[in-house]
Amino acid sequence: MQQNIILIGFMGTGKSTIGRHLSQTFGYSLIDTDQMIVDQQGRSISQIFADDGEEGFRRIEAELLQSLSNQSGQIISTGGGIIGSSENRALLRKLGYVVWLQASPSEILERTSRNSNRPLLDNDDPEGTIRRLLDLRVPLYRETAHLCIETDQLNFDEVTTGIIESARYFFAAQQ
């Protein structure tokens, strides 16, 4: 298994922000899969969905994940739907210590309503969409993660500290 920390979880659970904190504190460099896709494609996530549909986006996302498979010493923050395929789930666990950031539907709604760059929630019923997608995805996040952190009542420092301590134990036990 590679020595990376991988953040998974629904949109709006703080993966990018926690990823930045972790990278500064742990001294690992930061990879954000959505940002890499935007940089490589020269298109926003919304534009990719508009041009190629969700299916096209998932193909690009899966290829990117495969290209990371020999990396080590990275914090890898992922898009919320990356756990959809069993190939991706297996790859994520090979990449290292997988941390699932969890938040309640109301917290997710509040955090995601602050910007409009999430095509899957750009409809008349974002709350219903969040609940429906969570029902489908929670078992997949659970099956993929080594650690789950419930973030509603914690600040970013508390989440970061919890991840760092448990990741140290995890990596030490692997040696």
Between 12 and 170, whose beta carbon lies closer to ligand S3P? 12
CB distance 108 to 10 below 8 Å: yes
Separation CA 97–CA 163 (nearest Å): 10
Smallest gap from Cβ 38 to ligand S3P, in A, equals 10
In one-letter notation, the amino acid at residue 17 is T
CB of 116: closest distance to ligand S3P in angstroms?
Answer: 11
81 binds ligand S3P (CB under 6 A): yes
Q: Considering beta carbons, is residue 33 or 160 the nearer one to ligand S3P?
A: 33
108 binds ligand S3P (CB under 6 A): no
* Dihedral-angle region of residue 28 (phi above 0 means left; psi in -120 to 50 means alpha; beta otherwise): beta
Which residues of 33-170 form beta strands (DSSP E)? 74-77, 96-102, 147-150
Question: Going residue by residue from 2 to 21, which x/- string records binding to ligand S3P, judged by CB under 6 A?
Answer: ---------x---x------
Binding residue for ligand S3P, selected from 22, 45, 64, 92, defined by CB under 6 A:
45
Residues 82-101 that bind ligand S3P (CB under 6 A): none
- Token look-up 């997710």 returns 108
- Enter the DSSP assignment of 125: -
Structure tokens at 110: 């509040």
Closest approach of ligand S3P to the CB of residue 61, in Å:
7
Among 28, 34, 60, 159, binds ligand S3P (CB under 6 A): 34
Alpha-carbon gap, residue 161 to 164, rounded angstroms: 5
Position 120 contacts ligand S3P (CB under 6 A):
yes
- Quick one: 81 or 170, whose CB is closer to ligand S3P? 81
The SS3 call for residue 57 is helix
Closest to 82 (Cα-Cα) out of 2, 171, 170, 15: 15
Q: Does 79 bind ligand S3P (CB under 6 A)?
A: yes
Binding residues for ligand S3P, per CB under 6 A? 11, 15, 34, 45, 79-81, 118-120
